[in-house]
Amino acid sequence: MSRKASGFRAWLLQRVSAIYLALYLLYLVYHFSFNPPADYASWHAWLAQPVTSIFMALFFSSLLLHAWIGVRDIIIDYIHPLAARLLTLTAVALLLVGCGFWVIRILVLVAL
């Protein structure tokens, strides 16, 4: 993809992730409004289902991607010194990757 189209790719990824986030959040509100987990065991059983885990992993992947694109664009627009921009982008990337590993750990532990 050309350098010109890279902004379009980020725009498209952010819109697609926003749609998935909104739809999944609506599903969660609907699901927990009519079928709230009574205790930790029922919450664990619901999350341990393979389909639920997959959609939850997609949700957090979309959330982290959406956050990265938005924060990256803000940092690029408002932090002008190159060293400060790179340091801030690196810190945000490490934070988001850490959050991603944390979610993976939770989903793997709940499946065991």
Q: How confident is the model at residue 1 (pLDDT cuts 50, 70, 90)?
A: very low
Task: Name the least confident of 4-8, 34-38, 65-69, 80-84.
Answer: 4-8
Q: Which residue range is the domain that position 87 belongs to?
A: 6-111
Q: Is residue 92 part of a domain?
A: yes
pLDDT in tens, 60-79: 999 999 999 999 999 999 99
Residue 1 domain-assigned (yes or no): no
Whether 101 is in a domain gets the answer: yes
Structural domains in the chain (count) = 1
**Which CATH number fits the domain that encloses residue 81?**
1.20.1300.10
How many Å apart are CA 59 and CA 57, to the nearest integer? 5
How far apart are alpha carbons 31 and 40 in whole angstroms?
Answer: 16
CA distances from 14 to 31, 44, 61, 62, 66 (A): 25, 30, 12, 9, 5
Q: Is residue 25 part of a domain?
A: yes
Residue 26 inside a domain? The answer is yes
pTM of structure: 0.87
How far is the C-alpha of 94 from the C-alpha of 90, rounded, in Å?
Answer: 6
Structure letter (DSSP) for residue 17: H
Q: Judge whether 80 lies within some domain.
A: yes
Does 52 reside within a domain? yes
Confidence of residue 52 (pLDDT cuts 50, 70, 90): very high
Is residue 90 one of the residues assigned to a domain? yes
